[in-house]
Amino acid sequence: MIKEKYYISDFCSIRDNKVFKNGDQLYIDSESDNLKDFAKGVYKFLELKYPKFHKMDELCKLGFLASEVLLKDREKVDQDTALVLSNRSSSLDTDRKHQVSIRDREDFYPSPAVFVYTLPNIIMGEISIKNKMKSENAFFVTESFDADFMSRYSEILMNTGKASNVICGWVDLDNDKYDVFLAFLSKKGKKKLTKEELNNLYNQ
């Protein structure tokens, strides 16, 4: 198998009410004390007009916003750009909401708009819809961000021609604590794709 060199072209993270792209702080919100308000602030900051955003659960909002930041300066995203995401808590934040709605058999009103988000791969569905990406998707659940596995699997997709580029990363939300990191992997860039480099950028 011919193994090409791949690069981390862009990366971004969302943590502690701050948004970073390629290491630079893009946005800070020192006022919001909850994720919903913070996410809405980022949405406004990015000047998005996308009513579907407001229907998303908080996990999807985080992944979606990160993808918008990551892809912001690209004119067009290749339809074959794969999505390879991971986290620790799956969709547990919304799972809990659905569970609350069915806790009492006398007051039993599960919501379809909540239930649909009880799957972590919906984040990739939302990003695919926005960017018209009809590509490979895979959602992995690991104890912590596994740069080794994520970089290897992304390389496999590009080596085998199953994807032209890959957006890979970590989108986790659990009990209001969140941690988001996305990287755009392609044949162009300055930072070589290695597990060490990916891990360094995640830990920045």
User: Which residues, other chains included, contact 56 with Cβ-Cβ below 8 Å and sequence gap of 6+?
Assistant: 64, 117, 126
Nearer to another protein, 22 or 114 (CB): 114
User: Which residues, other chains included, contact 84 with Cβ-Cβ below 8 Å and sequence gap of 6+?
Assistant: 136, 137, 138, 140, 150, 153, 154, 157, 166, 167, 168, 169
Nearer to another protein, 20 or 193 (CB): 193
Nearer to another protein, 75 or 104 (CB): 104
Residue 150 beta carbon to another protein: minimum distance, rounded to whole angstroms: 10
Residue 148 beta carbon to another protein: minimum distance, rounded to whole angstroms: 10
Residue 48 beta carbon to another protein: minimum distance, rounded to whole angstroms: 11
Nearer to another protein, 21 or 147 (CB): 147
Rounded distance, CA 56 to CA 156, Å?
A: 31
Rounded distance, CA 25 to CA 204, Å?
A: 12
Residue found by looking up tokens 């044949």 in the block: 187
State the residues that interact with another protein by CB under 8 A: 1, 40, 51, 54-55, 83, 88-90, 92, 95-96, 98-99, 102, 105, 108-113, 115-116, 118-122, 124-126, 128-129, 131-143, 149, 152-153, 155-157, 159-160, 162
Residue 151 beta carbon to another protein: minimum distance, rounded to whole angstroms: 12
DSSP bridge partners of 27: 19
Helix, coil or strand: residue 129: helix
Residue 110 beta carbon to another protein: minimum distance, rounded to whole angstroms: 4
Nearer to another protein, 89 or 165 (CB): 89
Nearer to another protein, 134 or 190 (CB): 134
Contact status, residue 11 vs residue 5, Cβ threshold 8 Å: no
Rounded distance, CA 19 to CA 25, Å?
A: 6
Beta-strand pair 191-192/7-15:
antiparallel
Residue 43 beta carbon to another protein: minimum distance, rounded to whole angstroms: 9
